Chain A
Amino acid sequence: DVKVTQSSRYLVKRTGEKVFLECVQDMDHENMFWYRQDPGLGLRLIYFSYDVKMKEKGDIPEGYSVSREKKERFSLILESASTNQTSMYLCASSLWTGSSYEQYFGPGTRLTVT
């Protein structure tokens, strides 16, 4: 069974802290993604990675960085957390099968920055 896990379901951090959100997939997928989800704005892509140590900016990368040292793990880093980064963060992974780009999502991390 496909599984994407995220390190925390809920996280509360203070403004200025460095925050790490971890995502692990057990499906040997090449591609991994970080999204943030806000009411009325849907899912917005922050960064994605199509191979180990390869990364590309998504639509809203400002204030974020990522790390992918191993195929199964993709980390999102908030270098200096700000209140406008309070959001739900979703990680996903995918593998091109020749007919589908299906993405498998984790349960999400609700981050509050105070």
Chain B
Amino acid sequence: GENVEQHPSTLSVQEGDSAVIKCTYSDSASNYFPWYKQELGKGPQLIIDIRSNVGEKKDQRIAVTLNKTAKHFSLHITETQPEDSAVYFCGPGGGSNYKLTFGKGTLLTVNP
């Protein structure tokens, strides 16, 4: 099965700084690479995803980059704001079924 590692487990930045979270996976059949954000008291919500035929995707202040050869992808958040404070999960999948395998999460704290 898929083995997913996510780093760092906690990240504290000053408002306006950038934040980067990395996800490493093991299944070479994975072809879908999403990032989810979970705010306190809510379920996770997709914020950005990328398919394996694309190396980078941007949506305003967030971006995802994929290195399929090295089997890792990263979430980049620029100009961080306090409302970016949340737990972020990577969840690669899309191999033989509809499953996603989630990392253990990264608690991002943006200090005003």
Write the residues of chain A forming the contact surface with B, with a CB cutoff of 8 angstroms.
4, 30-31, 33, 35, 40-45, 48, 50, 56, 58-59, 90, 92, 94, 96, 99-103, 105-108
Contact = CB atoms under 8 A, between A and B. Distances in A.
B45 A105 contact: yes
Given A40-B104, A42-B105, A101 B32 contact: yes
Interface string B13-50: 00000000000000000001010000001111110010
A66 B14 CA distance: 44
Interface string B48-90: 0101000000000000000000000000000000000000010
B104 A50 contact: no
A4 B46 CA distance: 14
Chain B, interface SS category: loop
Interface of B: 1, 6, 9, 32, 34, 41-46, 49, 51, 89, 91, 93-94, 97-105
Chain A, interface SS category: strand
B103 A90 contact: no
B89 A107 contact: no
14 contacts: A4-B43, A40-B104, A41-B104, A42-B89, A42-B102, A43-B89, A43-B105, A44-B102, A90-B44, A92-B43, A101-B32, A102-B34, A103-B46, A108-B42
B44 A101 contact: no
Contacts of A40: 9, 104
A101 B101 CA distance: 12
A102 B104 contact: no
B49 A48 contact: no
Contacts of B32: 100-101
Contacts of A102: 34, 46, 49
Contacts of B101: 45
Contacts of B43: 4, 90, 92, 105-108
